[in-house]
Amino acid sequence: MTAPHRPHAGGLAADVGSIVGGRRLRRNRRTDWSRRLVREVSLTVDDLIWPLFLTEGEGVAEDVPSMPGVQRFSVDGVVRQAEEAAKLGIPAVALFPNTDPSLRDDTGSEALNPDNLICRACRAITREGLPIGIITDVALDPYTSHGHDGLMQGEDILNDETVEQLVRQALLQADAGADVIAPSDMMDGRIGAIRSALDRSGHGDVQVMAYAAKYASAFYGPFRDAVGTNTTLVGDKRTYQMDPANSDEALREVELDLEEGADMVMIKPGMPYLDIIRRVKDTFLMPTYAYQVSGEYAMICAAGQNGWIDRDRAMMESLIAFKRAGTDGILTYFAPEVARRLAKAV
C-alpha cells in the first residue's frame, strides 16, 4: 500500500511558509461558515428596486423580446406585480410607460395627461394600501414622437422650456400618489425646479431621486424596445446625457443635484460605471443608487441561455459588485428572482 503523500518540513514548502510568515488568507475561505463570517458586504432584499413596464389595455402581459423574462403589464397587471413585490419584501417599484404611438407628439403632451398610464398606475397601486414605495420616471422620451427627453427646436433640445414641462409632469405624478420622483432627463436645473414646485404644492414629503450621472450609453437598447422608443428616436442623446469618458464631471453633476434638493442620487448604467459609484459614495456620503440597465440584464440572460456563463451566479455576482462599489440600492429586473433566492437562503 502506498503511503499518503504529506508535504515534508523542508524544501519548497518550507520556503513558501517562511515567505508568507504564517499569514495564510486561504484559511478564512476554507469553509462556508468562515466565508460568511468574513464577508465584507451583503446583498439583502432591502437593496432591491423593481422596474416595471406599463402598457394599455386590461389583462395584458406581453413579452419584451430583447429582455427574457420581462413583460409589459396593463395597469391591473402592474398592481398584481406590486402586490408580489410587497410580499417579497422589495421596498419599491419603479414605473415606466410604453405610450400608445397615437398619443405621442412633438411636445410629449401625454406626459401632462392626469389619466396617462403612469398616473393611473400610481392611483391603482396606492388604492391597495401596499407597504411599498412608488418611483416614477420624469422625462418626455416615452411621450415624444422624436424619442428625446426634451422639447426640440430644430435639432436642439431646449433646456429651460423642457424643465417647465417636467415640473408639471412631476406634480401630476405626485398628485397621483408617487412617493419618489425620479427625473431621468438630464436637463440642467430640473432638480431644483421640481423640488421647489413639490414643496409649494403641498408635496414636501415626496422624495426626489436624481438620475444625477446618466451616461449616453449603448446599454439602453432593450429598454427602448420595452418603452417603444427604439424606432422613434431621432439622432442620439449626447448633447444632454454624459460622455462615457468623463468621471470628474459626474461629481459635478451629483453635487449640483444635491445642492438643488435631491434626496438620493443614481448612476446609470451600473456595471460599466462602478468607479463612478465608488467616487460618488466616497465624496458625498449620500444615498447612492445604481440602475442595472436593460443591456446589462439582457447580456447576462443571453449568455446564460447559450450556456456561456452560469446565469444565476452571474446575476448574484453582478449585484454584489454594486454593493461592493458603495450602492445603497439597485434598480434591477432581477429583483423578484433575487428576492426569492434570498428568502430561501435564510
Q: Report the 3 state secondary structure along 223-282.
A: HHHHHCCCCCCCCCCCCCCECCCCCHHHHHHHHHHHHCCCCEEEEECCHHHHHHHHHHHH
Residues 6+ apart with CB under 8 A from 306: none
Cα–Cα dist 55/294, whole Å: 18
Give the active site residue among 87, 237, 268, 323.
Answer: 268
Distance between CA 96 and CA 333 in Å, rounded?
A: 12
> Which residues make Cβ contacts (< 8 Å) with residue 323, sequence separation at least 6?
41, 42, 43, 47, 330
253 is in an annotated binding site: yes
**Cα-to-chain-centroid distance, residue 238:** 20
Which contacts of 104-107 are long-range, i.e. CB under 8 A and separated by 24 or more positions? 104/143, 104/144, 104/145, 104/232, 105/143, 105/144, 105/145, 106/144, 106/145, 106/146, 106/151, 106/152, 107/144, 107/151, 107/165
What sign has the CA pseudo-torsion 260, 266, 272, 278? positive
Nine-digit cell at 89?
419584501
281 is catalytic: no
How far is 118 from 173, CA to CA, in rounded Å?
7
Of residues 214, 237, 281, 323, which has the active-site annotation? 214
Active-site annotation holds for 237: no
Q: Using CB atoms within 10 A of its CB, is residue 1 exposed (0-12), middle (13-18) or buried (19+)? A: exposed
Q: Compute the distance between CA of residue 72 and CA of residue 228 in angstroms, rounded to an integer.
A: 11
Binding residues for Mg(2+): 253
Supply the residues annotated as catalytic: 214, 268
Binding residues: 253
